């Protein structure tokens, strides 16, 4: 009986190994997998999404571009967790092409989300100088990179929804 109790205790203790209560650790692990590279008209293109929680603000960095020329299009989303009404992972089909999105809706559908376009250094400088109404949104959609393991995207949605209930 003692051996059985010991085995049960050991089993319960080891269940937590590899799991974390820090959402940022899991967001980083997921973000590391949200990258893809494709070839289009002979050129290589890469895209990715990084998601992190900074204090009570969800920061989403979305980029796509050519790694050879180092020319990238960069989008930055700043969403206060308490202002998010809903987050949803969606697939939109247009003809043969599908696009996967992570969509955020603000509470009361008010313009509470900050969206900025540009490099990280440009964005830091712009935010220091203040925000305009043009920077504010009530709905944000982040285009996700093409990845094969859709379970990662479903896990990201689940993790983000879990942040809303805290």
CA distance readout (Å), 74 to 131, 137, 138, 160: 18, 17, 20, 22
pTM as predicted: 0.80
Q: Which residues contact 74 (CB under 8 A, 6 or more apart)?
A: 61, 62, 63, 117, 118, 119, 120
Q: Does 2 have pLDDT greater than 70?
A: no
Closest CA to 51 of 80, 24, 81: 24
CA distance readout (Å), 100 to 24, 47, 80, 132: 22, 13, 23, 29
Q: Does 13 have pLDDT greater than 50?
A: no
Q: Does 79 have pLDDT greater than 50?
A: yes
Sheet harboring 43-54: ordered strands across?
35-40, 43-54, 57-66, 71-80, 113-117, 136-137
Quick one: pLDDT band at residue 18, thresholds 50, 70, 90? Answer: very low
The chain-wide mean pLDDT, for the chain, equals: 85
Average pLDDT in the 12-41 region? Answer: 76
The model's pLDDT over 43-73, given as tens digits with 9 standing for 90+, comes to 999 999 999 999 899 999 999 999 999 999 9
The domain ranges of the chain are: 21-164
Instruction: Please give the pLDDT value at position 9.
Output: 38
Which neighbouring-strand residues pair with 116?
76
């Amino acid at each position: 009986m003692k051996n059985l109790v010991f085995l049960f205790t050991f089993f319960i203790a080891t269940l937590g190994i590899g799991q974390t209560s820090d959402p940022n650790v899991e967001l980083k692990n997921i973000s590391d997998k949200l990258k893809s590279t494709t070839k289009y008209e002979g050129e290589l293109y890469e895209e990715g999404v990084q998601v992190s929680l900074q204090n009570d603000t969800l920061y989403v960095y979305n980029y796509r571009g050519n790694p050879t020329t180092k020319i990238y299009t960069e989008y930055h989303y700043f969403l206060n967790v308490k202002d998010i009404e809903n987050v949803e992972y969606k697939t939109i089909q247009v003809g043969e092409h599908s696009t996967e999105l992570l969509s955020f809706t603000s509470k009361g559908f008010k313009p509470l989300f900050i969206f900025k376009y540009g490099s990280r250094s440009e964005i830091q400088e712009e935010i220091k100088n203040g925000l305009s109404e043009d920077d504010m949104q009530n709905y944000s959609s982040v285009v996700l990179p093409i990845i094969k393991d859709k379970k990662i995207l479903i896990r990201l949605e689940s993790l983000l929804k879990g942040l809303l209930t805290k």
